[in-house]
Chain A
Amino acid sequence: MRLALRLLLVAALVGALGGGITPAALADHLDVETSLPDTVKAGEIVEIRVTVTSAATGQRVPGATVIADREASILGFSGRVEIARATANDSGEAILRWRERSGTTSTIVVAYSEAGETDLESLPISIITVGEGPQIVRSTAGIQIPGLGAWVIVGLLVGVWAIIQFSMVGPVQIARVAAVREADIDEGSAS
């Protein structure tokens, strides 16, 4: 489902990216129109179309840089991680694309700057409810080839050993002949 949102520009700047921009100057700078999928599962590709429009003129803004990042933490470190970046084309459209990994609810922030300007504006655009997905990356521990496994060697081994053991029938027969003959001789001598 495509969901078109009129987004409110939030005058909060991303600290790491920020220059000394006054919120007021930016607030009515641009309009952003995005398409958001309803729900995303971990491992799925998320594609968001962002249309950047100048609030002042109503014209599309080509060349604007659009960034998606999210809050993340690992090994005791937390911060924002950029997960996708795109540049608006001639009609002011940019497509952000990434493979969703977090698997939990995460906040997506889109930041953009008008071409030629170093200023960046950011806004939390939506909360995507993400369902739990399957494991995306697996530890393969080698490469499995269907049908090829230990049973091949086991089968080979059993076959070879069966033949070797079959050859042992020979000595047993030799011994049997001897035993029967011996018994016969005993019989003979006894009678």
Chain B
Amino acid sequence: MSGIVGLVLVIAMVAVPLAVMLHMRAAFRADREATETLSVQGVGSGDNHRRSFLKLLGIGGLSAIPAAGIPTIFYRATPDAVAVEQPATGAGGRIRQWTMIIDLRSCDGCQSQGTPPQCTTACIEGHLAPEPMEWIEVFEQELPGGGSQFIPTPCMQCQNPPCVNVCPVGATFSTPEGVVLIDQVRCIGCRICMAACPYDRRFFNWSDPPVPPEALLADYSPDHQIPASKGTVMKCDMCPDMARSGTLPYCAQACPNDAIYYGDLEEDIATNGRELVSVSRFLSDNDAYLLKEHLGTKPRVYYIPGHGERVGRDPFTEGREPTQWPWVRRVEGTSPWSR
């Protein structure tokens, strides 16, 4: 389809100047014939004819100047799909639709652990996320009645993703599994996706990111975004490669309170590593909500309201340990940029 569009454009942009030139040529010949019948043939006039004629053709070629814009025709209506793994399938060969449910009743921002939020730490370690990126960031939000709640915030994996909609090169894209990924090999670093994301969930490699030796061994894929590269955007990828191989994402594995459920909307099952739930029943029974639902982004990450009451957190005990990037210290000669 897009190929045909390109072809039509090529024809339009090349054919018009060409037609102009041919028309001019015919007209010139007609003029010549008309004058020749009237005037007397002279010696060497043939040469002159040719020179004038060639000059005319050259100037006719000027009409091809607008065709300087021809590269625009190579734009394709839809970009080639970035090479990603075959989507995971569940029962009946139906494609898994990855989803995350975060039970805020069980999240105390790891206050009780006395550590930085362990989901964030595990994610940073697992993805070798450069400092100061927090792909899943635990925000502390004031409650209407005073006190606070903690909101672990990964990428929302929107189904109407503002970032994908604005990307000029298709570097960020939705997969059949419903996950939004970034191809750092294609990304041009224009950062319009960061401007478009209403959840502040996109991070930029402002300088050369730290790359430990083991990262160079990793076969790069948008599924895990290792190794990171300068001048490109990164974010939470929902760990679809881990899910495909039957493992919970780093954040869900690491949560000491099992607050993070991960699963498949298609088969309607999710797990936090301890129990299995039917996603639809779990969401409805517990009055789940979406972050900034009014924006119409249709997130795939759901929240169950709470402030850590399940794990005995008093909403008035505020503050959490600051996030750390332990692995970055292993890499010499890198300096993190500020958030």
**Contact flag (A, B; Cβ within 8 A):** yes
Contact B269–A136 (Cβ < 8 Å): no
Query: Is A135 interfacial (CB-CB < 8 Å)?
Result: yes
- Taken together as a complex, chains A and B put the C-alpha atoms of A177 and B264 apart, in Å, by 73
Contact of B173 among A82, A141, A169, A183 (CB under 8 A): A141
Q: Determine whether the beta carbon of A74 is less than 8 Å from that of B5.
A: no
Q: Distance (Å) between the CB of A104 and the closest chain B CB?
A: 5
Interface flags for B80-102 (1: CB within 8 Å of A; 0: not) read 00000000001111110100000
Cβ of A150 < 8 Å from any Cβ of B?
Answer: yes
Whether A183 lies near B27 (C-beta < 8 A) is no
Task: Name, among B2, B20, B179, the residue most crowded by chain A CB atoms within 10 Å (CB to CB).
Answer: B20
Q: A102-B91, A142-B160, A169-B63 given as contacts; is B247 within 8 A of A76 (CB)? A: yes
Q: In the bound complex, what is the Cα–Cα distance between A168 and B247 (angstroms)?
A: 63
From 174 to 191 in chain A, residues with beta carbon under 8 angstroms from any chain B beta carbon are 175-176, 179-180, 182-184, 186-188, 190-191
Complex interface bits, B21-54 against A, C-beta within 8 A gives 1, otherwise 0: 1001001100110010001101111001100110
Chain A residues whose CB sits within 8 angstroms of the CB of B277 once the complex forms: 81-82
Shortest Cβ distance from residue B268 to the other chain A in the assembled complex, whole angstroms: 4
Q: Is B125 an interface residue (CB 8 A)?
A: no
Contact-residue bracket for chain B: 35 or more
B243 proximal to A (CB < 8 A): yes
| Chain A residues with CB below 8 A from B91, complex form | 42, 101-104
- Please tell me which one of the listed residues B65, B97, B174 contacts residue A141 in the complex, with CB atoms under 8 A apart: B174
Q: Which chain B residues (156-184) contact chain A, with CB distance < 8 Å?
A: 159-161, 164-165, 173-179
Cβ < 8 Å to B, chain A residues 127-181: 132-143, 149-151, 154, 157-158, 161-162, 164-166, 168-169, 171-173, 175-176, 179-180
Residue A29, interface by CB 8 Å: no
Q: How far is the CA of A179 from the CA of B276 in the complex (A)?
A: 85
Query: 0/1 per residue, B54-73, Cβ < 8 Å to A?
Result: 01100110110111010010
The residue among A132, A149, A175 with the most chain B CB atoms within 10 A of its own CB is A175
A80 CB contacts on chain B under 8 angstroms: 276
Q: Which residues does chain A contribute within 8 Å of B24, judged by CB atoms?
A: 172-173, 176
B164→A141 contact, CB < 8 A: yes
Distance of B305 from chain A, by nearest CB (Å) = 21
A94 CA / B338 CA spacing, docked (Å)? 59
Q: Does B212 contact A (CB under 8 A)?
A: no
Residue of B nearest to A154 (CB): B5
Cα A139 to Cα B298 in complex, Å, equals 11
Contacts of B28 in A (CB 8 A): 176, 179-180
Complex CA–CA separation, A161 to B9 (angstroms):
10
Shortest C-beta distance, A57 to chain B (Å), equals 33
Q: In the complex where A74-B271, A104-B91 touch, is A136 in contact with B266 (Cβ < 8 A)?
A: yes
Which of B5, B43, B159 meets A140, CB within 8 Å?
B159
Contact between chains at B40 and A172 (CB < 8 Å): no
Given contacts A74-B269, A75-B271, A151-B77, 14 further A-B contacts (CB under 8 A): A74-B263, A74-B270, A75-B262, A82-B277, A82-B278, A101-B267, A135-B266, A164-B66, A165-B16, A165-B17, A172-B60, A179-B53, A180-B28, A190-B44
27 contacts between A and B (CB under 8 A): A42-B94, A72-B276, A74-B269, A102-B267, A103-B90, A103-B267, A133-B94, A135-B95, A137-B97, A139-B175, A141-B164, A141-B174, A142-B174, A150-B2, A154-B5, A157-B9, A158-B8, A158-B12, A162-B12, A165-B13, A168-B62, A172-B21, A179-B53, A179-B55, A186-B48, A190-B42, A191-B42
